[in-house]
């Protein structure tokens, strides 16, 4: 449907039609106009890109919120979900159930945090498992990882089941897939046994860096800095999408269905609408994670293992024996604020 919508009559086409009407019937001029129309049509086809949005560290990463109180979490969640709904974006959110418990809070507070998490399924969004504690598979043991996965299931599974769904997606904390290939494969067999599909990532705009500095700026009432950070965050996202498209095309000879990694933080709650507009402007439509994974790219050989968290594009590059394209960090002024936080 989106594909058809992109073929709507645009101002450029209208101008061309007027041009066509005014043109003399000389064969040469008609041929020129026809070629121009064909070129526009081809560029519209090429602009039919697709991305699935995934949001990690639910109910919320404490440091990315302006206030990690029950009220602060509720407000951030409502804002983020309203923005996702308004943009018509299907989202899978990945939960760390340990974040439902905050030191010093009561049982009632815990229940209120769970109620904030439930807003995701109430709004029709899917939830997946991101482990209980956000532990690293690459820096810990396989046994600890298995326990972390199982501990991370009860609330999330219940919320999904209440809506007639199942708990079916898993996202690795830090994108750590295992320090060596034996551990990676053993963990994958374990995840498959428990019914999980792993959710890869191909676009990582390091929102946690911007989010931490942004939340601090808002907390201090520095709206000027918050606005400056938000603007650069949007620019950096646009840049990361370009990088992912180029990397995919260099590797596969074509672009792929991308999967964006974000977090449930304040910068996204405040600016998701603008971010969705940036992505749309690049020619994207928003698809479900399930649809994204139908791209054959996700069947590519992948033997990456190590202590770094990388996107799957980099996994595939390394597996193919290619020198990985180097991703650029956010600018120095952002990195300095992040380091000084």
Characterize 301-323 residue by residue with b for buried, 16 or more Cβ atoms within 10 angstroms of its Cβ, and e for exposed.
ebebbbeebbbbbbbbbbeeeee
Burial class (CB in 10 A: 0-12, 13-18, 19+), 327: middle
Binding mask 146-185 for Zn ion (x = CB under 5 A): ---------------------------x------------
Member of 49, 55, 56, 289 binding Zn ion (CB under 5 A): 56
To the nearest whole angstrom, how small is the minimum distance from the Cβ of residue 57 to Zn ion? Answer: 4
**129 or 257: CB nearest Zn ion:** 129
**19 or 306: CB nearest Zn ion:** 306
Specify which residues 164 forms β-bridges with.
none
Which pair of structure tokens corresponds to residue 82? 């309203």
Tokens 């308004």 sit at which residue? 86
Residue 245 as a binder of Zn ion (CB under 5 A): the answer is no
**56 or 207: CB nearest Zn ion:** 56
**56 or 317: CB nearest Zn ion:** 56
Residue list 287-306, contact with Zn ion (CB under 5 A): none
DSSP 206-233: -HHHHHHHHHHHHHTT-HHHHHHHHHHH
Q: In degrees, to the nearest 5, what angle opens at C-alpha 280 toward C-alphas 274 and 281? A: 90
Instruction: Give yes or no for a cis peptide into 303 (omega within 30° of 0).
Output: no
Please check whether residue 254 is in contact with residue 198, taking contact to mean a CB–CB distance below 8 angstroms. no
17: phi then psi, degrees, rounded to nearest 5: -65, -40
To the nearest whole angstrom, how small is the minimum distance from the Cβ of residue 18 to Zn ion? Answer: 53
- Distance (Å, rounded) from C-alpha 126 to C-alpha 292? 15
Residue list 16-55, contact with Zn ion (CB under 5 A): none
To the nearest whole angstrom, how small is the minimum distance from the Cβ of residue 303 to Zn ion? Answer: 24
To the nearest whole angstrom, how small is the minimum distance from the Cβ of residue 61 to Zn ion? Answer: 7
Member of 49, 53, 57, 83 binding Zn ion (CB under 5 A): 57
**57 or 153: CB nearest Zn ion:** 57
**96 or 247: CB nearest Zn ion:** 96
Please check whether residue 182 is in contact with residue 137, taking contact to mean a CB–CB distance below 8 angstroms. no
To the nearest whole angstrom, how small is the minimum distance from the Cβ of residue 213 to Zn ion? Answer: 18
To the nearest whole angstrom, how small is the minimum distance from the Cβ of residue 206 to Zn ion? Answer: 12
To the nearest whole angstrom, how small is the minimum distance from the Cβ of residue 72 to Zn ion? Answer: 19
Binding mask 212-231 for Zn ion (x = CB under 5 A): --------------------
**204 or 245: CB nearest Zn ion:** 204
Please check whether residue 294 is in contact with residue 283, taking contact to mean a CB–CB distance below 8 angstroms. no
Give the binding-site size for Zn ion (rule: CB under 5 A). 3
**309 or 330: CB nearest Zn ion:** 309
From 100, 81, 51, select the one nearest 248 (Cα to Cα): 51
Residue numbers at the binding site for Zn ion (CB under 5 A):
56-57, 173
């Amino acid at each position: 449907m989106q594909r058809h919508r992109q073929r709507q009559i645009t101002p450029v086409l209208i101008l061309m039609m007027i041009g066509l009407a005014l043109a003399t019937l000389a064969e040469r001029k008609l041929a020129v106009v026809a070629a121009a129309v064909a070129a526009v049509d081809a560029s519209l086809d090429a602009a039919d890109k697709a991305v699935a949005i995934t949001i990690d560290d639910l109910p919320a990463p404490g440091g990315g919120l302006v206030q990690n109180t029950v009220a602060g979490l509720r407000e951030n969640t409502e804002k983020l979900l309203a923005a996702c709904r308004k943009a018509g974006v299907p989202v899978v959110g990945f939960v760390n159930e340990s974040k439902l418990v905050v030191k010093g809070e009561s049982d009632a507070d815990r229940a209120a945090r769970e109620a904030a998490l439930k807003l995701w399924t109430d709004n029709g969004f899917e939830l997946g498992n991101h482990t209980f504690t956000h532990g690293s598979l690459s820096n810990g043991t396989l046994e600890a990882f298995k326990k972390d996965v199982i501990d991370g299931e009860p609330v999330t599974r219940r919320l999904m089941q209440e809506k007639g769904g199942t708990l079916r997606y898993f996202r690795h904390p830090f994108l750590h897939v295992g320090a060596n290939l034996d551990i990676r494969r053993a963990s994958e067999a374990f995840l498959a046994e428990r019914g999980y599909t792993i959710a890869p990532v191909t676009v990582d705009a390091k929102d946690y860096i911007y989010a931490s500095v942004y939340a601090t700026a808002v907390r201090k009432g520095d709206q000027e800095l918050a606005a400056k950070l938000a603007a650069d965050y949007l620019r950096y996202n646009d840049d990361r999408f370009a990088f992912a498209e180029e990397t995919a095309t260099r590797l596969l000879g074509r672009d792929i269905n991308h999967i964006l990694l974000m977090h449930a933080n304040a910068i996204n709650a405040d600016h998701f609408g603008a971010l969705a507009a940036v992505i749309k402007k690049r020619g994207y439509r928003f698809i479900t994670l399930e649809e994204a994974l139908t791209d054959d790219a996700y069947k590519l050989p992948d033997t990456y293992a190590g202590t770094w968290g990388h996107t799957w594009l980099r996994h595939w590059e390394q597996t193919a024996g290619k020198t990985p394209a180097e991703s650029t960090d956010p600018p120095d002024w952002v990195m300095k604020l992040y380091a000084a936080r």
